[in-house]
Amino acid sequence: MAPPPPRAALLLPLAALALLPPLLLAPRSAATGVFPVRRKFPAGGGGGDASIAALRAHDGRRHGRLLAAADLPLGGLGLPTDTGLYFTEIKLGTPPKRYYVQVDTGSDILWVNCISCERCPRKSGLGLDLTLYDPKGSSSGSTVSCDQGFCAATYGGKLPGCTPNVPCEYSVMYGDGSSTTGFFVTDALQFDQVTGNGQTQPGNASVTFGCGAQQGGDLGSSNQALDGILGFGQANTSMLSQLAAAGKVKKVFAHCLDTIRGGGIFAIGDVVQPKVKTTPLVPDMPHYNVNLESIEVGGTTLDLPAHVFVTGEKKGTIIDSGTTLTYLPELVFNEVKFAVFKKHQDIKFHNVQDFMCFQYSGSVDDGFPTITFHFEDDLALHVYPHEYFFPNGNDLYCVGFQNGALQSKDGKDIVLLGDLVLSNKLVVYDLENQVIGWTDYNCSSSIKVKDDKTGATYTVNSHDISSGWKFHWHKYLVLLLVTFVCSFLIC
């Protein structure tokens, strides 16, 4: 339900049209850098029904992508009335040029629109100046041929019919019908290295990414167009995996998304403070699947059949910060709804763009119970009323949980936990140890990250650059993406 960050996507070589298992890349040591991430939809509330409708469309598209194929996109954030996807500014090439890309913590490649693109937007309704990447315009850029190691690793071997100097092509198909096709190139990615407490200096790394030659569906629209997508998935094609394989980062990232004051942190590397408890990721899954064991409302465990928690095809629990809302199987949704409103049976619901909304004066945190999801290895996710309700006008609140059976036939048995319940928590994705964890946290504060090469620990602060942003939006979330780059690296 959002544009395509790791959406349920299939990465296909144009020649083979088959998804082959990628080779595993061994991570080495770690490093530091900074990418400011801005939200795609305006912040601050007051969006009314139109904003809610846009949110529903965003989540609807994302849900389709998620369930359609093999890869899930992560990267959304904020309240349904004022936010959606987030994007960051990166620089590619020599000399470097600026590109705005959607942050996608689940998809598996970085790609940007190419100079030869047939259906790429030239303008964006977001007020951004879009840039088309020109491989020939960069002195450090080169086209990846189909007989090179990256291409073979991506598709599990040499492609049929491959001859020297033939480009390594890709085609990513999304479940909602959108698509991107093109070829891979290698060039310099620029970012800001973290060199001390709140201090940075320019750094770069060589990465292989997609040069999008043709976009279909939503990706060809100029309404909310960006230059591309920055994927943080687990496959070897992701930027994170490439940097880890080169010994520049550990395959660990974290986000802390603040819906109270705006701002937050998105970090690559070991977070040493605060500490988080973790739960295992379900192995051999394309998404961030975890084992949910029970749900508690107001201290009482719901009586739910065991099968609703089983992981399998089109079943199980997925952590997806790119989906804004939370989706529950119908049986679970009804039980949670009954328990939440048990003491408020006089409340009358209003339908606002298919959201369940109601009038309530006073503090929802005082009047409604906390919902707690319990996961394997005794990890709990506490969701407070202000996180599962969102305001939409004077004393009007809407429910941020949705009945999955009404959204998608294929997704009716999936528990999908979106960023509304993940906000105001530090969430750590440790792909090296195949665990994910979180803790309640003030995301407007700071975290401490460790440089594994030097042993130094640095403080990384939350950022909010809304006062300097040139668009008409009155509030923005900016996330800080930190990657630890060791001193021995060539930057």
The shares of helix, strand and coil residues in the chain, as percent rounded to the nearest 5, are: 15, 35, 45
| Torsion, Cα of 311, 319, 404, 346 (10° steps) | 120
Q: How far apart are the first and last CA of the chain?
A: 37
Whether 192 sits among the annotated catalytic residues: the reply is no
Selecting among 320, 430, 451, 464, the annotated active-site residue is 320
Both tokens assigned to 43:
């912040």
Where is 10: in which H helix or E strand? strand 9-12
**Per-residue buried b or exposed e for 219-239, using 16+ beta carbons within 10 Å of the residue's own CB:** bbeeebbbbbbbbbbbbbbbb
User: Are the C-beta atoms of 176 and 67 separated by less than 8 Å?
Assistant: no
Q: Are strands 199-216 and 252-257 parallel, antiparallel or unpaired?
A: unpaired
Selecting among 104, 176, 218, 430, the annotated active-site residue is 104
- Determine the Cα–Cα distance for residues 216 and 226; give it in Å rounded to an integer: 14
Q: What φ, ψ does residue 245 adopt, rounded to 5°?
A: -65, -30
Whether 430 sits among the annotated catalytic residues: the reply is no
CA R_g for the chain: 22
Any idea what DSSP says for residue 158? P
User: Are the C-beta atoms of 428 and 271 separated by less than 8 Å?
Assistant: yes
Burial class (CB in 10 A: 0-12, 13-18, 19+), 302: middle
How many residues make up the chain in this entry?
A: 491
Both tokens assigned to 207:
């990465």
Catalytically active residues are 104, 320
